[in-house]
Structure 1
C-alpha cells in the first residue's frame, strides 16, 4: 500500500466501557488525526489476553461495545482503517520473528513490567505473553510501517524499545524496518467520582454510553472539597474534583464565575454539581445518539471490522514479506 501521508497506528484493549477520560485523552486525538495521517486504529484483543487470559467469555461483547464507542465519538471507516488485531495473523507471525532477536534484559527493564506485576499481584501474570507484550506492540507498529505513534508519557518507553528492536533487526538483516517516532498526546487525566484518577479499575468513571440521568446521579454524589461542610463555608476550588471537571467541560468565563462564587460561599456544592452535570450531558448527547444508532446495526459494525481487516492484512503482508525475505525465510520454489 503506497501513501503520500505518514502512517499512524494506535489501539485500545477491549477491557470495559470507555469513559470520558478515554474520550478526551485518546479518542478526540484519533478523530483529529484522520485527516492528517493514514490512520490505523486497532482493537488490541491479543493484548487483552496478557492480563485477562483467565476468562475471555465477555470478549466479543467488549469488542463490539468499544467499536461502537469509537464510531459514536467520530472515527470514520471511510477515513481510517478500523480492525481487530486477531483478524490479522501477521501480528502473531511478526511477533514471533522479532521475539527471536529481542534480548530478555530489554523486556525486563520496561518500566510498566514491574509496575503491572505489583498492581495486579492478585493475578497470575508471570507468563511469557505478559513479559513479551512490548514485542507484540512493536510488531503492531512496524507491520504498518507507522512513522508516528500517539502515546502518553508513560508509553514512550515502549516506542523507544521498538526503535531499539528496529536498529537491531536492521543491523542484522539490512535496512528493512523504519524507526517510529512517539507523538506525545496532551495528557488529560480526569478525576474520577472519588477524587482519584478516573480509571475503570477504580470503578469511578462516567461512561460514554451512560444515560443523562445516570450521569447526573453519579455527579450528585461526587466527592468535593473535603473541608467544606456547610454551604456557608468558603470553598477551595483548587482541591475540588468537581471544579477540575468544570475546567474541562464548562466555558472559561463561567468557570471563573464558579470559582469566585465557591470561594465566597455564594454557590453550594449541590448547585455546582448540577451545573457540571448539565455541561457534561450536553457534550455527551451527540455521542449517545450515535451510540444508539450503531448499537442497532451490529452487522454493519462487524462489516467495518471485516473490511478493515482486509485492508490491514494487505499492508501487513507487504511488511512481513520484506522481513521474511531479509531473514531468508522465503518459500522454496
Structure 2
C-alpha cells in the first residue's frame, strides 16, 4: 500500500474564521483530508510578527479553540487530521536556528509578501522576526517532512524558499528532507464593503459562526453598484460583491443567471438580489451551525484534539530534529564531550575509593 503524502497548512490564531477563509483555503481542506495525511498548524508564533502585545498572546488559547471548532463545523473529520499548536512544538525554535544560516537577508528581502505585511502593519522598519517569518515557516514545513503545502498564489514564493533551504541542507549535510511542493489553491472573497479582502479588522466579514440576524444585517448592508440609485437603472454585475457571493454560495445557478440578466436590464432591485443571497448563505451556514452546536456540546473535546495532535506533531518533530543533528554532526560533538566527562567522573570515583 502506497503511503499517503503529508500536508502542512495552518492559521494564525487571531480570531474566528469567516467566509473569506473558507473560500480561500478551508473549502480545499475538506477534500485534502481524504487524500493526504494532514497537519493543521495553529501558528501562534507567526502571530507575533504583527500582534506581539500580551493581550493578544493571552487570547491565543480561546482563538485556537475557535479555529479548531470552525474546522469541525465545516466538516473536517477530527479522526483524519492532526491539529497542533506551533509554540508547544519546541523543536520549531531549534530548527529555525539551524537552518537560518542557509538563507541570506537579501533573499528574504526579495519576497514581496514581507513588504506587504510590513506595510499593512504600518511598520516604518521591518522587524527581525518579520524578516525571518519565512524561515520559521520553513521550519514548520520541514519538521513533519511535509510533501505538499497548500498556499495561495501570492504565498507560493514562501514554499519556493523552503524548497531552496531543504535542497541546501540536503546537499551540505545529507538527505534528510523531502523537497516540498506548493499546492496552489485559488479563490479570494471581497469584503462586504467591496473595498478589500474580507477581514475582521476591516469589519467587512461574515463569520462562519455568525447567527441568522447577523448574517441578514451584513447581507442587507452589502456594497453593490454605486451608480444604481433605482431598481429600473441597469446595473453592473462584474465586480459587484453581491453577485460574487452568489457565484460562490448560491448553488441554484439558474436563479443566479436570471438575477444577473434582470440586474443588467434594470428589472430587479438590490433588495431582492440580497434576499436571495441571504437565503443561499443561510442554507450554506445551517449545517455548519448544526455541527458547531454538536461539537460545542462535547466539553473538552477541542482541547483534547489540540493536545493530542500537538503531542503527535512533537513526536514527528523530535524524530526530524534528531536526524538533522545527526546529519550536521551535532550529536557526535555532544557524545564525545559527555563520554569524556563520564570517563573522568568514573576515574575520579575509582581513585577516591582506592584511597579511602
TM-score exceeds 0.5: yes
**Whole-angstrom distance in 1 between the partners of 2:4 and 2:226:** 50
Return the index of the structure with the highest Cα Rg.
2
Greater alpha carbon shift after TM alignment, 101-110 vs 12-21: 101-110
**Whole-angstrom distance in 2 between the partners of 1:304 and 1:7:** 19
**Whole-angstrom distance in 1 between the partners of 2:58 and 2:33:** 32
The within-5 A match list for 1:45-84 is 45-55=44-54, 56-84=57-85
Residue in 1 aligned with 2:227?
227
Q: Which whole-Å deviations, capped at 9, do the CAs of 1:145-174 have from their partners, x for residues lacking one? A: 111111110111100100111122122212
Residue in 2 aligned with 1:145?
145
**Whole-angstrom distance in 2 between the partners of 1:16 and 1:324:** 36
Residue in 1 aligned with 2:254?
253
Residue in 2 aligned with 1:263?
264
Secondary structure of the 1:238 match is coil
Residue in 2 aligned with 1:112?
113
Residue in 1 aligned with 2:351?
none
Greater alpha carbon shift after TM alignment, 134-143 vs 69-78: 69-78
Deviation at 1:319, TM superposition (A): 1.1
Residue in 2 aligned with 1:16?
15
Deviation at 1:314, TM superposition (A): 1.4
**Whole-angstrom distance in 1 between the partners of 2:273 and 2:141:** 44
Structure 1, unmatched stretches of 5+, are none
Residue in 2 aligned with 1:276?
277
Deviation at 1:329, TM superposition (A): 1.2
Deviation at 1:298, TM superposition (A): 4.6
**Whole-angstrom distance in 2 between the partners of 1:267 and 1:72:** 35
Deviation at 1:124, TM superposition (A): 7.3
Q: Which whole-Å deviations, capped at 9, do the CAs of 1:116-150 have from their partners, x for residues lacking one? A: 222211x5773322111111100111111111111
Deviation at 1:190, TM superposition (A): 1.3
Task: Give TM-score, length-normalised by structure 1.
Answer: 0.94
Q: Which whole-Å deviations, capped at 9, do the CAs of 1:47-87 have from their partners, x for residues lacking one? A: 11121112323222111111111111122221111111122
**Whole-angstrom distance in 1 between the partners of 2:48 and 2:75:** 27
Change (3 A) 1:8 1:237: same
Change (3 A) 1:281 1:147: same
Change (3 A) 1:130 1:239: closer
**Whole-angstrom distance in 1 between the partners of 2:38 and 2:81:** 5
Residue in 1 aligned with 2:237?
237
The within-5 A match list for 1:98-177 is 98-121=99-122, 123=123, 126-177=126-177
**Whole-angstrom distance in 1 between the partners of 2:159 and 2:311:** 26
Does the alignment pair 1:206 with 2:206?
yes
Q: Which whole-Å deviations, capped at 9, do the CAs of 1:5-53 have from their partners, x for residues lacking one? A: 1111101101122111101221111121111111111100111112111
Structure 2, unmatched stretches of 5+, are 340-356
Change (3 A) 1:95 1:239: closer
**Whole-angstrom distance in 2 between the partners of 1:54 and 1:127:** 15
After superposition, the CA RMSD in angstroms is: 1.7
Change (3 A) 1:73 1:320: same
The within-5 A match list for 1:283-294 is 283-294=284-295
**Whole-angstrom distance in 1 between the partners of 2:299 and 2:26:** 21
Secondary structure of the 1:208 match is coil
Secondary structure of the 2:276 match is helix
Change (3 A) 1:239 1:82: closer
Aligned length: 330
Task: Give TM-score, length-normalised by structure 2.
Answer: 0.89
Q: Which whole-Å deviations, capped at 9, do the CAs of 1:178-233 have from their partners, x for residues lacking one? A: 21110111x22112111122223322010000001110111111111111101221
Q: 1:50, 1:125 within 8 Å by CA — same for their partners in 2?
A: no
Secondary structure of the 1:236 match is coil
**Whole-angstrom distance in 1 between the partners of 2:240 and 2:74:** 28
